[in-house]
Amino acid sequence: MFILKRQDVEISSVQHPKRDQQIPILNYQGQTFRLINVFSAAQADEAKAYWRDLTDNRGKACVLLEEPDRYSVWGKVRLDQLANDEAGTTEAKPALYTQACLLLLQAVYIDIEDLLGNRQASAFEKDLAGALAQWSFPQAGSAKAIKDMLTLDPLDGLPIQPWQEHHLINFLQELHRLGKDYFGNDSFTARAIEVLDDLSDGDRVEFTAWINKSPLGQLWNAG
């Protein structure tokens, strides 16, 4: 079993040669790995099973990274072959998932501004930028991009980039962690989840079904 700790590795990001996207790359002893999947801290067993399936049954060279609040599985890749390495990447989810995540983000942000005041809200903005930079998020590279994320209505028909599943999961995990930091408890999730009523019924049902199946089910309690 190849479990690495955060201090053993370096995580950077590279530009995908074909797609307009930054990809997180893990460096370990001169070898490079790309992110395949993410699990929450409570899903240690699932993460190990997934890793085992990849290595034993599919013969991939993978490592499992253990961090305090998540497990992630990374597959070996050579940077010069990144363009033709499509295997093992997670599927991009439809844009509605991105929209729903942005709605949740804005609900938490407005909640912080409303209840905890402006100073906490601007501190949250900085923390969010830091959290997203760490995972090299699409469309979150600049202060303006973060501002847009927090203020533009995701249902206004603006072009929304579909995110990959691991992005969605990371995003909601980081958002929950930050919310809990600021509020001191998770009373905010119930208030935030209400915002999903703004989606069409079909979209809402699809998104909540996904969230409840994902590692985030117990975090967000989407009901």
Partner 1 sequence: MSSSAEKSSTAKSPLTAQTIVLAGVTWAVAALLFFLLFGATPPGESPPTWYLLGTYIFGFVANLSAAILCLRNWRSPQIVSGRNVWLGIGLGLFLYVIGDILFFLWEFVWEQDPVVSPGDFFYLLNYLCLSWGMMLAVTSRRLNLELKQWIAIAAIGIVGMALAVWLSLPPSMSGLASTSQTPTAPTPAATTPAPAPAASRAPDWVVKLEEDLAPLDKPVTLIYTVFDVALLIAATTLLLAFWGGRFSQSWRMIAAAAFCLYIADMWFKYAATRVPDYQSGGILEVFWVFSPLLFGIGAALEYDISTRTPTRRAGRRRS
* 3-state secondary structure (DSSP) of residue 117: coil
**Other C-beta atoms lying within 10 Å of the C-beta of residue 123:** 15
- Which tokens go with 92? 């991009």
Side-chain-side CA neighbours of residue 38 (13 Å):
21
Count of residues near partner 1 by CB under 8 A: 34
In the complex with partner 1, the residue whose CB is nearer, 156 or 201, is: 156
* Residue 66 Cβ vs partner 1, minimum distance, rounded to whole Å: 25
Question: Are the C-beta atoms of 190 and 158 separated by less than 8 Å?
Answer: no
200 touches partner 1 by CB under 8 A: no
In the complex with partner 1, the residue whose CB is nearer, 165 or 198, is: 198
* Among 19, 117, 130, 205, interactor with partner 1 by CB under 8 A: 117
10-69 residues near partner 1, rule: CB under 8 A: none
211 touches partner 1 by CB under 8 A: no
109 touches partner 1 by CB under 8 A: yes
Question: Are the C-beta atoms of 92 and 20 separated by less than 8 Å?
Answer: no
Single-letter amino acid, residue 8:
D
121-160 residues near partner 1, rule: CB under 8 A: 123, 150-156
Q: Dihedral through CA 11, CA 13, CA 19, CA 21, nearest 10?
A: 100
Question: Are the C-beta atoms of 181 and 128 separated by less than 8 Å?
Answer: no
161-190 residues near partner 1, rule: CB under 8 A: 181-185, 187, 190
* Among 107, 160, 175, 216, interactor with partner 1 by CB under 8 A: 107
* Residue 205 Cβ vs partner 1, minimum distance, rounded to whole Å: 19
Whole-angstrom distance, CA of residue 62 vs CA of residue 50: 10
203 touches partner 1 by CB under 8 A: no
- Binding region for partner 1 (CB under 8 A): 103, 106-107, 109-120, 123, 150-156, 181-185, 187, 190-191, 194-195, 198
